[in-house]
Every structure is written in structure tokens, then in C-alpha cells.
Structure 1
Amino acid sequence: MIMRPNVAVLGRSTATALRQNPSVVKAYNGTLGEDGLVPLDFLRGLLELDEIVVGSAFVNIARPGQKPVLVRAWANHAAFIYRNLLADTQGGVTFGFTAQFGSRVSGSIPDPDMGMRGGQRVRVGESVRELIVAHDCGYFFQNAVSA
């Protein structure tokens, strides 16, 4: 890794396991106990990170038409990345960023079927793409904790 990570992205189970780790709890309690759950802000300071993002989303892995099967999107994985908020397509080192194609577009057209006296239908959009531009600025830990 060419840059020290400043952001951690953890799955909910990984974050909980790390917050309950006896060594981390002992560091928080000052050797007065090994049980408990430390605040994420303490963990952020302990790991010298700017931010910890915890992924709590669910995703449906069932085929269309089948009974929904929801699993955690981040499962028990973790990623440590270097994020430079000022990086763009012109310069700067960062793990990834959102690139924009062109400018935002908007338009409106009269819609006589809307409301009592008609209305305006407004559409706004932009063309963006998420890019990983420096693979060496990130680590991905698959199955960081046991299930």
C-alpha cells in the first residue's frame, strides 16, 4: 500500500466483532475489564482514521419470482482505503472517486394531466461513474471475522 489508509469500511458483523475485541475493550477501559462494546469514535482514534463507515445494507440474493433471501451486502468483510477528497481527473492520489461526464442536465415540459390546471414535468440527471483509480491505495479483507 503506497498511502496510509484514512478510511475503514466495515461490514456490520466485522465492526461489532472489532468493537468487542478484548484487547480493544481493555484499551478503552484502561485494563479494568475485557467485556463491553467500545464506541466507533474511540476505534477511529485508536486506528488513526478520519472515518469509519459501517455497511448495514441488505441485498436480495434470490432469483426473480422466488421468496426473498436477504443477506448483508458487506457480510463480514473490511476495506481500508486512502481517500483524498480533493483528487479528481486532473490530479491527486486516492483509492477512488466519482467521475462526471459533461454537466448536469435538466428540462421541463408542460403536462396537462397533472393537477387541476396542469403542471410541469421536470427531469434532472447527470452522467457519473465510480472509478477505482489507485488499487495500491486500498486493502480488502475478505471474511475478516468468522461467521
Structure 2
Amino acid sequence: MVDLLKPYLDLRDAEVETDFGIDDPVVYGSRAAIESIFTNLIVNSLRAFAQDYSSGRLESAEVCFRKIIIRTKKLGDRVIITFSDSGPGIREISIDDIWIVGRSTTPKGSGLGLCIVRDTVEDMGGAIRAEAHGELGGAEFTIELPLRN
């Protein structure tokens, strides 16, 4: 799935590291639903990287550290998927508000992406939570989805 976004990632000098501790987990939901979740979260990271640079917060030499880590692991009857990025994190908005359409941390953002992610995860019987500053210093999203037997 990350391969589909590779040209988009390369154009923005972003690196994605994957650590899939569970091979091909089977969850309730469609491939399109999973692709929507991954795409929205990766695109949000890329927008955060661009915003950080355009805000003048980073010098060009620092911008080279644009990294996203996606991990999966099995925990009982669930798969845990974690997305971490090295962007500026979630700021100027509360964690509760990031899920609301119209609320965004990017100037021209609609806030629709994270709403779609949350609704899709919940439709699949799962849950999602966010941290303003995770493992890489940027935003971190943790998704729990039930595994199909």
C-alpha cells in the first residue's frame, strides 16, 4: 500500500519505514477501507512536513528528516497499527478537535481526512487514538482493529 504513494513520498523527500510484526492480518472491512486509512494518515504527515517548513520553523538542512514509521503488531484478537511522523506534531488544536470536520492544523485543511479515518476505523469495529507528540516527535496515531478468525 505504501508503494502506491511512493512517487508522492519521493517528490517530498519523505521516508516511510515499515515494521509489520504481523503478516497479512485479516480484519473486518475492505481493502479500500484500509487504503483510505493509510492514505489519509500519510497525506496528513506530508502536509505537516510542508507546513513546518513553510512556517519558517525549520531551516532547509533540518527538513531532510521527514520520516513516517508504520508498525503493526498482534495483541490478542486485535491488530495494533501505529503511524508516527517527524513533523511538528498536533498543535494549536486539541486532540479531541482533530476529529471534527472543519478543524485542521494546516491553514487550508478541511479537517475531513481524520474524520474519515476515525469513522472508517469505527465502522470496522476498531478504535483510534492520537498523541500530539509521539515517538518521532510528530503526531502519532494508534489504531486497534479486531482480527477475523
More strand as a share of residues:
1
TM-score range, shorter chain: under 0.3
Q: TM-score, normalised by structure 1?
A: 0.25
Q: TM-score, normalised by structure 2?
A: 0.25
Give 1 or 2 for the bigger CA radius of gyration: 1
